[in-house]
Amino acid sequence: MRDTSGTRMSGGRAARSSRLSVLLAVGASALLSMAGPAYAAPAKDPLPADIPDYRAALDAVKSTDVLNTVCRFLRTPVPTGEASTRVQTIPDTAEPCQGLPAFTIKDPVARNEITPGFAAGTAQPLATEAISLTGLVSSLSTTVNGRDATVLLAPTQGGGWHLAAVRDGNTDAGYAGRAGVGTLTFTEPQIRGWYRLRLTTVEPLNDQAREGLGGKASVSLRDYQNLVKARYADKQPGSEYDSKGFSSGYELQRAETGSSPSSSSALLVAGGSGTALALAGGAAVFLRRRRPGTR
């Protein structure tokens, strides 16, 4: 499957990694027994048990380095015109937060995704098989100069978390934080759909998810699996779809008409919206992405 980092779908990485495959629930009874709002912020004692090394995640989002990176992101104008199609390096300044309104980065919340095995129909329609933790997201405490931003954390090999990207908007953090007592939230990144899982019932949280459920207010987890299996089962790594370079994304409208998305649009479907700051090789760069449905 794809995550927002823009990498290719990988069943083994998302489904088998001990850090990413977090036990979110053990059947319906475990979902009912989850006490208190899931992934609540600010963090309480004890820390969220279903997010490994959560203290390291808190340390990361509260660090000066991450704050400075977000400030550089907010100080850099959003690329427009021809510049919007190019990678732009963010200038390194000594005091990146100077002159900006004061803000803090909220405590991170879990960003869960459907697993490749669940989408392929090989995994059982259970929370532990259907959903896995792929990263953490944080938003800002306030809008800064008319802009919101999302901070994305990725797991560090050997334990802990590190900054993976900063992106315009706070949609992912908003939906991810809507988990509550006995529920969890997750995304189907190929269509940017966000859902809530309540016991074994899947409910849409945004328009893309409602479209993904065929306009229904809710479906069973088993019925939802049938839907995503129809969308992705023949698009797994090693498939003809994958060999043609389309596995970086999926778009409902094009799938229904039988056409395949272009490689650029496919990347955008799974890669997030707006402007993103990606950290590659220690350098901070802007990536401007088109909105879903653009061609």
The pLDDT of residue 34 is 35
Render 131-186 in DSSP notation, one character per residue.
Answer: EEEEEEEEEBSS-BTTB-EEEEEEEPTTS-EEEEEEEES-HHHHHHTT--TTEEEE
Where are the alpha helices (H) located in the chain, listed in sequence order?
11-16, 27-33, 54-61, 64-75, 116-120, 127-130, 171-176, 207-212, 221-232, 240-243, 252-257, 263-271
The pLDDT of residue 279 is 52
| Residue range 91-114: mean pLDDT, rounded | 92
Report pLDDT digits (tens) over 183-221: 999 999 999 999 999 999 999 999 999 999 999 999 999
Q: Which residue has the higher pLDDT, 8 or 88?
A: 88
Entry pTM: 0.69
pLDDT averaged over every residue in the chain: 73
Report pLDDT digits (tens) over 274-288: 455 555 444 445 554
Residue 90 scores a pLDDT above 70: no
Report pLDDT digits (tens) over 47-72: 677 799 999 999 999 999 999 999 99
| Distinct helix (H) and strand (E) counts, the chain | 12, 11
The pLDDT of residue 63 is 97
Weakest mean pLDDT among 80-89, 92-101, 102-111: 80-89
Weakest mean pLDDT among 62-76, 105-119, 251-265: 251-265
CA distances from 171 to 64, 229, 244, 272 (A): 24, 26, 31, 10
The pLDDT of residue 242 is 47
Residue 7 banded pLDDT, cuts 50, 70, 90: very low
Residue 160 banded pLDDT, cuts 50, 70, 90: very high
Token pair for residue 238? Answer: 């090693």
The pLDDT of residue 294 is 38
What is the rounded CA–CA span in Å between residue 118 and residue 131? 8
Residue 42 scores a pLDDT above 80: no
The pLDDT of residue 80 is 72
The pLDDT of residue 50 is 79
